[in-house]
Amino acid sequence: MVKNYSVKQYQESDYENWNTFIGQAKNATFLFHRDFMEYHKDRFEDFSLMIFDDKKLVAVLPANRVGNEIFSHQGLTYGGLVYNEQSKLTTIVNAFRAVLLFLEADGIEKLHLKTIPSIYHSKPAEEIQYALFLAEAQLVRRDTLSVIDLSQLYVFSKIRKRGIQKGKTNGLIIKEETDFESFWDEILIPNLEERHKAKPVHSLEEMKVLKSLFPTNIRQFNVYHKDKIVAGTTVFETETVAHCQYISKYEEEEDLGSLDFLYHFLITETFADKRFFDFGISNESQGKKLNEGLSYWKESFGASTMVHDFYEVQTANYVKLDSFFSKSKNRLTQ
């Protein structure tokens, strides 16, 4: 049956309650900790929500507001409704209905919600996908993640094996660093500027702050040739996944096999005990285009495709969830 859950907007006084809930959720990572969400709070109008059954917190929604619309927090790679392992399907449908009703009453017409890829779940947690279906949400974007399931057999292609051997022959050295300066200033920023006229999503100062807050989750690996940095990667590590946030190499150097050598090391040694290794997306134009060369490089390590979906839903569609509960009640009483 429909339950009248209460919804409130997150306030600073909710800091401990929010973070405690995130620590117990089955589909949360450190990205949803308030310390991570608020490193760039000057860029977003936070509109995160907390959903209660009486006084019990049953779900949270990391979000921000743009005009008359609410977004799964645009400063985060993934998002959506977050809940704990005790949550039943009807609880989440009720919670989502409560969110839509709350937003509609506040004059918000549309909710943009991006999902949390299942590899980041500690236990199955796709209740929100069903709630989105009931609310007739529209799929508006689909990115493709290149992922290796490290619990299954995976095979490096011949060309990757040649690159790995080239790295060994060239005497490359891999170091895990506690700072980001050399990678950011000498590799990442120049490459993004030259190739895409872009800048990293995170500034160097922001990465320093985040590293200090999440020292075991954010890790930097650099590759050196004759004491000169030639490549690197920044990894965001969660309970189940090692995710490559940034990947870049020194383009002017002759091909040393630097990235092949680095990723062989990360996949087979550093993160061998993780469940998944996530290279991230190779998409452009809101998922409509694929960088084929980048995708091929990831797949040649043995990665295959998972999707990351983005939805839009009209808040007035909360009424469409009511029929679900009335039908459920009828079936139970037959």
Does the pLDDT of residue 328 top 60, yes or no?
A: no
Determine the length of the chain. 334
CB atoms within 10 A of CB 268: 13
- β-partners of residue 225 are 228
Report whether 296 contacts 312 (CB < 8 A). Answer: no
CB atoms within 10 A of CB 330: 9
Does the pLDDT of residue 115 top 60, yes or no?
A: yes
**Closest CA relative to residue 75, chosen from 120, 107, 114, 121:** 114
Q: What mean pLDDT comes out for the span 121-145? A: 97
- What is the percentage of the chain residues whose pLDDT exceeds 70? 96
Does the pLDDT of residue 202 top 50, yes or no?
A: yes
Question: What was the pLDDT predicted at 211?
Answer: 97
Q: Using one digit for the tens of pLDDT, what is the confidence trace for 138-156?
A: 999 999 999 999 999 999 9
Report whether 116 contacts 240 (CB < 8 A). Answer: no
Phi then psi for 313, rounded to 5 degrees?
Answer: -140, 135
- Residue indicated by tokens 């490549």: 231
Q: Which domains does the chain have, with CATH numbers?
A: 6-142+309-333 (3.40.630.30), 152-274 (3.40.630.30)
Structure tokens that stand for 258 in this block: 């630097």
Does the pLDDT of residue 331 top 90, yes or no?
A: no
pTM recorded for the entire structure: 0.93
What single-letter DSSP state applies at residue 137?
P
User: Three-class SS string for 292-309?
Assistant: HHHHHHHHCCCCEEEEEE
Rounded Cα gap, residues 24 and 81, in angstroms = 14
| Signed CA dihedral, 182, 297, 236, 49: sign only | positive
The helix (run of H) or strand (run of E) holding residue 4 is: none
Q: Using one digit for the tens of pLDDT, what is the confidence trace for 41-64?
A: 889 999 999 999 999 999 999 999
Does the pLDDT of residue 332 top 90, yes or no?
A: no
Q: Using one digit for the tens of pLDDT, what is the confidence trace for 248-294?
A: 998 666 689 999 999 999 999 999 999 999 999 999 998 999 999 99
